[in-house]
Amino acid sequence: MPKYVYKCIDCSQHFEVIHGILEDHTTCGFCPSTKLMRVPQMPHLARQETQKGGKVGDEVKRAIEENRAILKEERRKRVELPDGD
């Protein structure tokens, strides 16, 4: 099963959880919080996060969403191209 890194929003602890792709971990192992954020497994981002002390997760999420929007837009353009006459 894949290994995920979570960050607790309440106590700021990072911890690894092993669970299935379709499952989701929702409880902090260090405090009773259920406000967890999955941390993307990218080494250079993980290093940034230790330096700045957080917030990188949100930026990554935004970047992924922007990327997805661009892809969607490009696909849409391609579909709307006139297929000749």
Q: Given the rule CB under 5 A, which residues bind Zn ion? A: 8, 10-11, 28, 30-31, 33
Please give the single-letter amino acid code of residue 41.
Q
- Tell me how far, at minimum, the Cβ of 37 lies from Zn ion, in Å: 11
- Tell me how far, at minimum, the Cβ of 34 lies from Zn ion, in Å: 9
Considering the complex, state which of residue 29 and residue 40 has its C-beta at the smaller distance from Zn ion. Answer: 29
- Tell me how far, at minimum, the Cβ of 59 lies from Zn ion, in Å: 21
CB atoms < 10 A from the CB of 85, how many? Answer: 3
Considering the complex, state which of residue 54 and residue 73 has its C-beta at the smaller distance from Zn ion. Answer: 54
Which candidate, 51, 47, 48, 15, places its Cα nearest to that of 30?
15
Considering the complex, state which of residue 12 and residue 41 has its C-beta at the smaller distance from Zn ion. Answer: 12
List Cβ neighbours of 38 (8 Å cut-off, separation of 6 or more): 4, 5, 6, 57
